A and B are shown apart, each in its own frame.
Chain A
């Protein structure tokens, strides 16, 4: 029998904000332990949460970017459980009336090769809701310490429908969410820093069966690759169990990335009873059109929309877009240059993807710190197109431009890279090369076109690389005709 897997993801994303959702004190990183705390964050007797409207902007924007409906009214509930990182021993969350309903995420599956675009599809979302994050525990041999700086900061939970079928789809889903969140400035989604966390619900059923199989909730997926590997392992495990005639029992398992296996954490009977109820300290959230429209206006063009536009407007190949588009800053940089000369967009794209990214990463600076600005890129493309310098010399010029911040012309001028000879001098060199290399001449005459390269190489050498290769090619062919 053939089996298929059904996967749903629950993705937690930390929302960037200057303050906590329900307290007045600040939020952020890099503070001493418990510096970002006040009576509300610490859950002192008598302290009350008050919703900070600004802290909701991030999630509403995320919802709008992912095509969710933002209901007029949503509400806050308490999720009751004891843990030392939670100051009130309940979390304020949204049980049955979340801020965002529905929605979908466009994903790209891997293509046949790295250079070929894969299939695109949309993964349906159930909802996105907001909750307050917990503090951070540090364990020592005999005791533990807790830092509540993170407690009470906005944590968004994106819940997908059971609408994926492979580890690769889950990987693509998370990649897409991360790109969109970063694009919209909602979160940096760095999984290593815990800014994005994912749990997966995985079940396997005989192909063709409608009903879902018993599901396993998989936790401890600490990287996007971990999500893919953990899910793939779990699908194999469940499938093999079913093939052996065994049954799967609903439970929570964890992924052990080091051993590369999943293991059981707790059975369903031991599941928490969170005793959800509406938080009596908080009023429902009311969102009006003015609020929705203000945030909608702040949403930038999303990555896949941008990619499609680059195909159309600039006729860019997939390989260039797949590098440029995921990075909003890089895309904006490229576009600024491309808009100066839309017809030269491909050459600009090549310089950006190859030379610019190489130099930026070699020197280890941010793109914004680069001295080469978009007009510089265009200046280099233009001198190469005019034939002022060769592509090889262009590479050298780029490195100089990157160091000094000069335009291409300035570098060429300063370093004397412009040809200091005319076409008749090139013709003389060609004649010399033919005279000095009878063997390739013979070979070419015998029909071996490649033999011409060796002659061209000789001429380039004589010109110290400055001769225009097309010109050299033409002259030699004429001379040997």
Chain B
């Protein structure tokens, strides 16, 4: 049985564990075997520690046999993006800069996962410091799309999406600053949720852009994603931007809300643009589906959408230029062997330690914050950001959620956009606004392109109403069979 465990859902596995039909050790062994069999081709993991994972699973089994199970996630293997701090494990951010760094502390979401008994499994590949949309900016290794190894998995949480799609993890954690969970989820045919800004603590998430970053779950079903979100959500007094509000019972909400007739909005700006027509087809079909189950679907407008990408690349790079200043060769990072003085130590260590996309964004961010440019760029961008958020709030007066494509096209070929950063930036055109507005958004699989690459449907919800967002997605998922379609590896 353990041969096929790796493609079962977390909810199904939780039931099997509870009934003691399988053990957590068997389950992690299945995942380890699968990872060893396929990851040479997929490249989802920067590193993993089998012995540690089996020990965690053993502890889980011991708890369960003592009647001390910590809940449905106890014993479920979860892959962790290599941007989250776990005590005693490497925290590389897929950068040469941190290639030897081992975290001495746990991120809050990791603490919470440990408290839920989940088995932390490996360090997942990503674009360096979460900057990128293809995972091609990883300094560690190439990550491939499990559905077609010549294509990228998306990014920056490419490893988190690919591992789940390839059965190398049951669920995973990613981080999303401009689409970094949703876009790779859509490219790899899995579910990825970016929670409301403030829903999940950022403590222990190596910062890219502090006002946009959010940790979120990825899985092969909406229910699995809901289970993980449940475990990691909530206020944290170590993160001033985490929000003090009740966390709903997300899994229960899925059944409570079953059959509900939602009012859904189609933001016209997301359908006007140059999406490739073939990949829009499954999205349009999804819209028809919602109509067919009695949902009201209406067109809405988010008039400031066209400014989102520009606004994003000012805010995100400005914050990044400051957040990444700590990686300087002085304390725990890569340090150049040869340097003249402390200034040269910075120059050499940073020149060697950072990849070109990270350097590009640090330069851009440094420029927009420079004396004389601050008002014209950063301050203006913050004002536009308020307008973008207001667009959403206005739309939500009329609708419960918005539906749109996640990405303008399916996963592109490796190398296709590496020489053209601007076209790479535009692949986040539909996802960026949610980060600027701080709202929750999710991508669920809704079909395939002609050449068999997954296509995602994006659902955007009201702030701190993840339960509604998940329920809307769940309605679609229940009526379709994407959960059980897997890439051939």
Contacts and interface: CB of A to CB of B under 8 A. Distances in A.
Contact of B240 (A43, A51, A88): A51
Contacts of B318: 277
Contacts of B49: none
Contacts of B103: 44-46
A84 interface: yes
A88 to B, nearest CB: 5
B378 interface: yes
Given A45-B93, A46-B205, A283 B325 contact: no
A275 interface: yes
Interface string B193-217: 0000000001111110111000000
Given A46-B203, A82-B346, A280 B371 contact: no
Interface band, chain A: 20 to 34
Contacts of B328: 82, 84, 89
B257 interface: no
A463 B91 CA distance: 90
Contacts of A480: none
Contact of B238 (A50, A82, A273): A50
Contact of A280 (B211, B237, B343, B366): B211
A42 B332 CA distance: 10
Nearest to B101: A45
Contacts of A50: 237-240
Contacts of A277: 318-319, 322, 369, 374, 378
B332 A283 contact: no
B93 A48 contact: no
Contacts, number: 101
A273 B371 contact: yes
A464 to B, nearest CB: 75
B326 A48 contact: no
Interface string A177-203: 000000000000000000000000000
A51 B319 CA distance: 19
Interface string B322-352: 1001111011100000000011001000000
Contacts of A47: 105, 203-204
Interface in A56-97: 78, 80, 82, 84, 87-90
B432 interface: no
Contacts of A90: 322, 325
A283 B330 CA distance: 29
Nearest to B203: A48
Given A44-B104, A277-B369, A84 B330 contact: yes
B84 interface: yes
Please report whether the interface of chain A is mostly helix, strand, loop or mixed according to DSSP: loop
Contacts of A87: 326, 331
A78 B369 CA distance: 11
B142 interface: no
Nearest to B211: A280
From B98, B241, B322, name the one whose CB has the most chain A CB atoms within 10 angstroms.
B322
Interface band, chain B: 35 or more
A46 B93 CA distance: 11
A44 B370 contact: no
A273 B367 CA distance: 11
Contacts of B83: 46
A49 B210 CA distance: 12
Given A42-B331, A45-B93, A84-B342, A280 B210 contact: yes
B207 A46 contact: yes
B85 interface: yes
B107 interface: yes
Nearest to A146: B330
Contacts of B330: 84, 146
Given A46-B85, A281-B210, A39 B105 contact: yes
A48 B371 contact: no
A350 B455 CA distance: 92
A88 B369 contact: no
B369 A45 contact: no
A231 B238 CA distance: 45
Nearest to A76: B240
Contacts of B378: 277
Contacts of A282: 240
A124 to B, nearest CB: 27
Nearest to A143: B342
A39 B110 CA distance: 15
Interface string A263-305: 0000000000101110011110000000000000000000000
Interface string B359-390: 00000001001110010001000000000000
From A51, A80, A82, A275, name the one whose CB has the most chain B CB atoms within 10 angstroms.
A275
Contacts of B107: 46
B325 to A, nearest CB: 4
A89 B240 contact: no
Closest 8 CB pairs of A and B: A89-B325, A45-B206, A280-B210, A275-B369, A280-B211, A46-B204, A43-B326, A46-B85
12 contacts: A50-B237, A50-B239, A50-B240, A51-B240, A80-B325, A84-B328, A90-B322, A146-B330, A277-B318, A277-B319, A280-B241, A281-B241
Interface of A: 39, 42-51, 78, 80, 82, 84, 87-90, 144, 146, 273, 275-277, 280-283
Interface of B: 83-85, 91, 93, 98, 101, 103-105, 107, 202-207, 209-211, 237-241, 318-319, 321-322, 325-328, 330-332, 342-343, 346, 366, 369-371, 374, 378
